[in-house]
């Protein structure tokens, strides 16, 4: 098996676009020349740099480390089983000439059965790691979008986009970047979870990076 240890996908699954349909005041919205809707001078669209979240979100760092440790242990266990089977096969090759036909048949059947079991074990490990990775990605997605939903309601955002080299956003003004605000808030919530203390609200006026 080649590199059983699966590295957590570096591309954060935030969303291509997370739409927040909100109830605004009776003031009619105005539309700029670029087609971006604004209301009372407030932004109604923003974006998050997913690379920044991947790099700076403490929850992801800790979860990624735990996942890699688990994958490394699985990989080591699999490697030990492979080496054990190889040793048995090598011993068979050394002793085959001195074995009876019955012993040869029994040994070969035993080695074949163990090889099949090892292949099934490898598949099981791969499936477990894939399920674990999917679970982590889902939890990460939920954490980010749940915060964006709250932040969007507070700030009157209609849309929050994901910004990275693979996204469809070719250009976005840095004034729309709320990455630092989101990261600071997510880290504050995560720190509160670990200590059991109330979450400290991140400074929403912080300049985004």
Q: How many C-beta neighbours within 10 Å does residue 139 have?
A: 13
Going by the DSSP 8-state scheme, the letter that residue 158 receives in this structure is: S
- Indicate the number of domains in the chain: 1
Tell me the pLDDT tens digit for each residue of 183-193: 999 999 999 99
pLDDT in the model for residue 47: 92
Residue 199 phi/psi, 5-degree rounding, is: -65, 135
Mean pLDDT (whole number) for 16-27: 30
Question: Which range is least confidently modeled, 14-23, 53-62, 93-102?
Answer: 14-23
Q: Does any domain span residue 2?
A: no
Burial class (CB in 10 A: 0-12, 13-18, 19+), 198: exposed
Q: What is the per-residue pLDDT across 101-147, written as a single tens digit (0 to 9) for each?
A: 999 999 999 999 999 999 999 999 999 999 999 999 999 999 999 99
Least confident of 144-148, 174-178, 205-209: 205-209
| Residue 164 lies inside a defined structural domain of this protein | yes
At residue 168, the pLDDT reads: 85
pLDDT of residue 69: 96
**Span 79-102, average pLDDT:** 96
Per the structure, the complete domain to which residue 41 belongs is given by: 17-195
Specify if 72 maps to a domain.
yes
In a domain, 204, yes or no: no
Burial of 182 (0-12, 13-18, 19+ CB in 10 A): buried
Asked if residue 6 belongs to a domain, the reply is: no
Query: Who has greater pLDDT, 8 or 157?
Result: 157
Q: Work out the burial of residue 186: count CB atoms within 10 Å of its CB; fewer than 13 is exposed, 13-18 middle, 19 or more buried.
A: buried
On whether residue 10 sits in a domain, the answer given is no
Confidence check: pLDDT of 202 > 80: no
Question: Residue 178 domain-assigned?
Answer: yes
Separation of alpha carbons 107 and 98, rounded Å: 13
Q: Residue 146: what pLDDT?
A: 95
pLDDT of residue 43: 53
Asked if pLDDT for residue 37 goes beyond 50, the answer is no
Which CATH number goes with the domain that contains 121? 3.30.910.20
More confident residue, 128 or 26: 128
Q: Which pLDDT score, from 0 to 100, does residue 108 have?
A: 96
Mean of the per-residue pLDDT values of the chain? 79
Query: 158 in a domain, yes or no?
Result: yes
């Amino acid at each position: 098996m080649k590199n059983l240890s699966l590295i957590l996908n570096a591309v954060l699954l935030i969303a291509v676009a997370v739409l927040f349909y909100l109830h605004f005041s009776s003031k009619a919205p105005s539309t700029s020349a670029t087609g971006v809707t604004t209301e009372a001078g407030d932004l109604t669209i923003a974006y998050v740099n997913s690379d920044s979240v991947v790099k700076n979100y403490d929850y992801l760092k800790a979860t990624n480390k735990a996942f890699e440790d688990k994958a490394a242990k699985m990989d080591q266990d699999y490697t030990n089983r492979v080496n054990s089977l190889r040793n048995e096969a090598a011993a068979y090759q050394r002793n085959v000439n001195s074995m009876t036909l019955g012993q040869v048949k029994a040994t070969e059947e035993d080695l074949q059965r163990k090889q099949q079991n090892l292949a099934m074990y490898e598949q099981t490990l791969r499936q477990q790691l894939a399920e674990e990775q999917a679970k982590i990605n889902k939890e990460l997605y939920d954490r980010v979008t749940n915060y964006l939903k709250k932040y969007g309601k507070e700030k009157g955002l209609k849309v929050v986009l994901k910004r990275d080299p693979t996204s469809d956003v070719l250009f976005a003004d840095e004034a729309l970047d709320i990455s630092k605000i989101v990261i600071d808030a997510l880290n504050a919530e995560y720190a509160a979870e670990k200590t059991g203390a109330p979450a400290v609200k991140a400074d929403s006026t912080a300049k985004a990076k």
